[in-house]
């Protein structure tokens, strides 16, 4: 649905249901633009796809560091490889996997089964009794 600026904006709930959200990383400073967060402080609401950013968009970090205006041309698609459990802080790392649980090194977070649970707090009966299942929906990508 278009936002007030005429940009293509997708609701946060709809975006979190999508298995993969395309993020973009600045080649110069490694700032990551995520459509899930947008840049509300710069008038870009959450849900704004990279392709829908204005033509004069520039990297907010490079400009602040005096490197000049690095436009959309300075960004490249980027996929997170590490995801953090929002409840206990456990980090799933694609390069490490979880071989002891049957997930080989190189297994992408998106490729984990839908019934995947956090190996730290997802098996704790006190936590699951209070919070319910601690599954994939409780993880967020690390932007590093």
How far apart (Å, rounded) are the C-alpha atoms in residues 133 and 125?
10
Same-domain status, 39 and 86 = no
How far apart (Å, rounded) are the C-alpha atoms in residues 29 and 7?
26
For residue 2, being part of any structural domain is answered with no
* Residue matched to tokens 């796809």: 49
Cβ burial of 11 (10 Å; 0-12, 13-18, 19+) is exposed
pTM attached to this predicted model: 0.62
Domain that holds residue 50: 12-78
How far apart (Å, rounded) are the C-alpha atoms in residues 109 and 118?
12
DSSP letter for each residue of 67-78? S---BGGGEEEE
Q: Provide CB contacts within 8 A for 22, sequence distance 6+.
A: 35, 49, 50, 77
Same-domain status, 118 and 135 = yes
Please give the tally of structural domains in the chain: 2
Same-domain status, 86 and 65 = no
Q: Which tens digit of pLDDT belongs to each residue from 78-127?
A: 888 999 998 899 999 999 999 999 999 999 998 999 899 999 888 788 88
For residue 119, being part of any structural domain is answered with yes
Q: Which tens digit of pLDDT belongs to each residue from 66-75?
A: 666 788 888 9
Same-domain status, 101 and 60 = no
Q: What is the CATH number of the domain that holds 58?
A: 2.20.28.10
For residue 16, being part of any structural domain is answered with yes
Residue 97 CB: number of other CB atoms within 10 A? 17
Quick one: pLDDT at residue 127?
81
């Amino acid at each position: 649905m278009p936002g007030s600026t005429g940009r293509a904006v997708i609701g946060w709930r709809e975006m979190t249901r999508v298995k993969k959200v395309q993020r973009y990383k600045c080649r110069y400073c490694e700032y990551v633009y995520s459509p899930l967060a947008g840049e509300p402080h710069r008038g870009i609401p959450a849900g704004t796809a990279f392709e829908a950013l204005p033509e004069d968009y520039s990297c907010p970090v490079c400009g602040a560091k005096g490197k000049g205006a690095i436009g959309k041309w300075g960004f490249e698609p980027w996929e997170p490889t590490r995801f953090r459990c929002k409840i206990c802080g456990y980090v799933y790392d694609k390069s490490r996997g979880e071989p002891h649980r049957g997930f080989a090194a190189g297994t992408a977070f998106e490729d984990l089964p839908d019934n995947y649970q956090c190996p730290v707090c997802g098996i704790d009966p006190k936590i699951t009794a209070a919070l319910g299942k601690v599954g994939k929906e409780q993880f967020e990508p690390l932007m590093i």
